[in-house]
Every structure is written in C-alpha cells, then in structure tokens.
Chain A
Amino acid sequence: MVHFTAEEKSTILSLWGKVNVEEAGGEALGRLLVVYPWTQRFFDSFGNLSSASAIMGNPKVKAHGKKVLTSFGEAVKNMDNLKPAFAKLSELHCDKLHVDPENFKLLGNVMVIILATHFGKEFTPDVQAAWQKLVSGVATALAHKYH
C-alpha cells in the first residue's frame, strides 16, 4: 500500500481544491485520446474523434472526462485506502470494460501534465512528486482486482 506523508496529503488536497473537475476531466481524457491514439479503442461510440480539435471539442469526451475525474476525487479523499476505495471500479474495468491497466498509467501522466499547465509556478517538483505518487497509487489500485 502506498503511504503518503502529512505534507504530501496537504499538498494534494490544497491543489485539488482549485481544480475545475469538469474542465480538467475533459482535457485529460481528450489529451489521452490525442497523444495516445490507440486509447480511442475504448470509445468507438463517441462519434467524431478524427482530429485533435474534434476530440477536444467532443461533448461525449468532455462528459466522460468529467466522470473519470470526479471518480479520481475519491482517491484524494481516500489516500490511505486506495485499493479498497477502487475495488469495485477495478472489477468493472477488468470484467466489463476490458481496459489494459497500462492505460491508467498513461492517463495519470497526462493528468500531471495538465496540472502543470494550469498551476505553473505552483507546480513545483515537490508538488509534482506528490501527484505522481497519487496517480501511480490509483493506477495500481485500479489494476488490483484484475484476474
């Protein structure tokens, strides 16, 4: 189980409080689909994904991105219990969605990059380190129930 220091937790919480989940979620998922086009394999029903601007403007991408990032909010509330917190979602991603856990790492890294663009100076190496730890913990937790 990944362990967060008090400082890491407060760093994460303080930044999370300033994140516009709807906007950032859409951006994160959009960028995942643009930068790693093979991830589009999970979204055949989403309509027009033919270009970067089509993807970033796609309403289904935005809506789903919001859903994903809202769920990520659970991670922020349960940093000491990531595996149990994501147990059900892990089963879902394995049994129903059939998502390779490698994708969780890709999305995590994209999220960190978006935070960097939004928070600039505030996104110091320490802050990044705490967030890399969190996205890595979430990726592991989401993969935990795979069989």
Chain B
Amino acid sequence: MALSATDRALVRALWKKLGNNVGVYATEALERTFLAFPSTKTYFPHFDLRPGSAQVKAHGQKVADALTLAVDHLDDLPGALSALSDLHARELRVDPANFQLLGQCLLVTLARHFPGDFSPALHASLDKFLSHAISALASKYR
C-alpha cells in the first residue's frame, strides 16, 4: 500500500492549490473533529474550544505545518514525522484512533472547499497519504 507516483502527484498538486491556506483548512478540520467526535475534546481541557477560538486556530496552524512537512517528504514519512511521533507518544499520549477521526474531518473539509478537484482518484490518494502519515505518527508509540 505504498504511495504510488500518481498518489504523490495528486497530493502535491492539491497542496500547491491550498497555498498559504493550509492553516485555515486544518483549523476547520479541528473544529469539525471536536463537534462530530466529542471524545476528542478530552485532549484539550485547557483550550477554549468555542468556534473562532484563537487557541484552536493556532493549533490548526501547527497541524497544517506538520501536514505540509509530510507532503514535502512523501518519500520518507516515518523519518519526517519521527520527532512528532515521539511527542505524541511520550508527552501527549494521544490514542492513535483519534488521528483517523481528524483525517476524516480533513477529507470532509477539503471535499467541501474543492468539490471540483475532489475526484475519486484524489480522494483515494489523499486517504492513502493520511493513512501513511497516521502510521508514521503512531510508529514510536511502543
């Protein structure tokens, strides 16, 4: 299930289109995650989770930067995400099941904003990419 040349091309092309707005979409994805999957809020008791929260926006940007890092290193996701994996495993201790919930909301956000681009092929490639990124993020857990 490695990322094919087509997967990489499609993901990169979409990311180019997102430009400087990755943070906006990642923030929306986070908001969606908290609403659709309330158990995810348990990791943010110290956050104001109301719509428009500056903390959620800042966190969205962090997530966006990590995703962009991943897109820039599609040939070595485990390497690129190693430090983040350590962080999530040792300090944050987020159950990896939650990454998939955020993944779903990211797909929904992108599908909603880019319906014309969101072909079945792009949908498949993005889902694969997120799945690999999630694996890499969970790789240091134990």
Which residues of A are interface residues toward B (Cβ below 8 A)? 30-31, 34-35, 52, 55-56, 109, 112-114, 116-121, 123, 125-126, 128-129, 132-133
Contacts and interface: CB of A to CB of B under 8 A. Distances in A.
A33 to B, nearest CB: 9
18 contacts: A34-B120, A34-B121, A35-B123, A35-B124, A35-B127, A52-B119, A52-B120, A52-B121, A56-B120, A109-B107, A113-B108, A113-B111, A117-B111, A118-B115, A119-B112, A123-B112, A125-B32, A128-B108
Contact of B120 (A30, A112, A125, A126): A30
Interface in B1-55: 28, 31-32, 35-37, 51
Given A109-B107, A128-B108, A129-B32, 14 more contacts: A35-B120, A35-B123, A35-B124, A52-B119, A56-B120, A113-B123, A116-B112, A117-B115, A125-B28, A125-B31, A125-B32, A126-B35, A128-B32, A129-B36
A110 B115 CA distance: 14
A31 B104 contact: no
Nearest to B110: A116
Interface string B112-130: 1101001111011001000
Contacts of B36: 125, 128-129, 132-133
Nearest to A30: B120
Given A109-B104, A112-B104, A128-B35, A120 B121 contact: no
Main SS at interface, chain B = helix
Contacts of B112: 116-117, 119-121, 123
Interface residues of B, number: 23
Nearest to B108: A116
Contact of A113 (B31, B35, B107, B113): B107
A133 B35 CA distance: 10
Interface in B76-92: none
Contacts of B32: 125, 128-129
A37 B58 CA distance: 36
Contacts of A125: 28, 31-32, 35-36, 51
A111 to B, nearest CB: 11
A48 B77 CA distance: 34
Contacts of B108: 112-113, 116, 123, 128
Given A112-B108, A125-B32, A120 B115 contact: yes
A116 B105 CA distance: 10
B37 to A, nearest CB: 7
A56 B122 CA distance: 14
Nearest to B100: A109
Contacts of B111: 113-114, 116-117
Contacts of B118: 113, 117
